[in-house]
Amino acid sequence: MCRHLAWLGAPVSVASLVLDPPSGLLVQSYAPRRQKHGLMNADGWGVGFFDGAAARRWRSAAPLWGDASFASVAPALHSSCVVAAVRSASVGMPIEASASAPFTDGTWLLSHNGLVDRAVLPASPHAESTNDSALLAALIFARGMDALGDTVSGVAADDPNARLNILAGNGSRLLATTWGDTLSVLRRADGVVVASEPYDDDPTWQEVPDRHLVEVDGTDVRLTPLKGS
């Protein structure tokens, strides 16, 4: 399992989202507060952000807390759309940078928090790694992001034990699903945060109910129940 976070709003530094908050992804990498599966997220991390239309990523197979180079550079990276994750690899999955979210098709940055039986996912030449999350990302990209809700419901029907929390951004929109794990939304004056768990104790964080699709367009946040819920 993993923890992930996305931002859509005014340009802010990556450090202000990922490293600085009192319970941000950095702290969640060793002390998550709401994680249901796994104790910590030490098997890698990834930060993706849009630089104009270009999706850029920095990923690693090592714990986020040990990366002094990223901590030095992150305050200088600014973006209006960020997708970041810390990873706890599921049993049997490879630990390598390419298995860490966010995955990309060049247009979207996408993270998966959960677990799915790889036997229900089609093989894809576009999968970045052989872990379940990379295969699932390739399937979601192949079906198209407009079909995200249907793809998640369909995979869940094929694997009833699957946990399928997806979080994705394309520079102007965020899309997320809840299927088996936690997700919260914070509406700030300068933008919207969608995250596996609140990064601070602000009382205005709102929990997303399970089995929902979240769509963020500008400051508009829409929640829709998923099929099969």
Whether the Cβ atoms of residue 71 and residue 8 lie closer than 8 Å to each other: no
Q: How many residues in the chain? A: 229
Question: Prior bond to 32 cis, omega within 30?
Answer: no
| Nearer CB in complex with ligand GLN: 99/193 | 99
Whether the Cβ atoms of residue 124 and residue 115 lie closer than 8 Å to each other: no
| Nearer CB in complex with ligand GLN: 1/15 | 1
Of the candidate spans 53-61, 83-91, 168-176, 201-209, the one that interacts with ligand GLN by CB under 6 A turns out to be: 83-91
Secondary structure of the chain in HEC code, one letter for each residue:
CEEEEEEEEEEEEHHHHHCCCCCCHHHHCCCCCCCCCCCCCCCCEEEEEEECCEEEEEEECCCHHHCHHHHHHHHHCEEEEEEEEEECCCCCCCCCHHHCCCEECCCCEEEEEEECCHHHCCCCCCCCCCCHHHHHHHHHHHHCHHHHHHHHHHHHHHCCCCEEEEEEECCCEEEEEECCCCCEEEEECCEEEEECCCCCCCCCCEECCCCEEEEEECCEEEEEECCCC
Contact positions with ligand GLN (CB under 6 A) in 125-184: 131-133
Of the candidate spans 7-15, 26-34, 81-89, 193-201, the one that interacts with ligand GLN by CB under 6 A turns out to be: 81-89
Q: How near is the Cβ of 159 to ligand GLN at its closest, in Å?
A: 12
Candidates 59, 87, 211, 212; binder of ligand GLN (CB under 6 A) is 87
| Nearer CB in complex with ligand GLN: 12/162 | 162
Candidates 88, 104, 182, 184; binder of ligand GLN (CB under 6 A) is 88
Contact positions with ligand GLN (CB under 6 A) in 35-74: none
Q: How near is the Cβ of 146 to ligand GLN at its closest, in Å?
A: 23
Q: How near is the Cβ of 36 to ligand GLN at its closest, in Å?
A: 11
Q: How near is the Cβ of 220 to ligand GLN at its closest, in Å?
A: 27
Site string for ligand GLN, 96-115 (x = CB under 6 A): ---x------------xxxx
| Nearer CB in complex with ligand GLN: 10/39 | 39
Token couple for 169: 């951004």
Token couple for 75: 């305050």
Question: Catalytic site residue 81?
Answer: no
Q: How near is the Cβ of 217 to ligand GLN at its closest, in Å?
A: 25
* Active site (catalytic) residues: 2
- Contact residues toward ligand GLN (CB under 6 A) are 1-2, 87-90, 93, 99, 112-115, 131-133
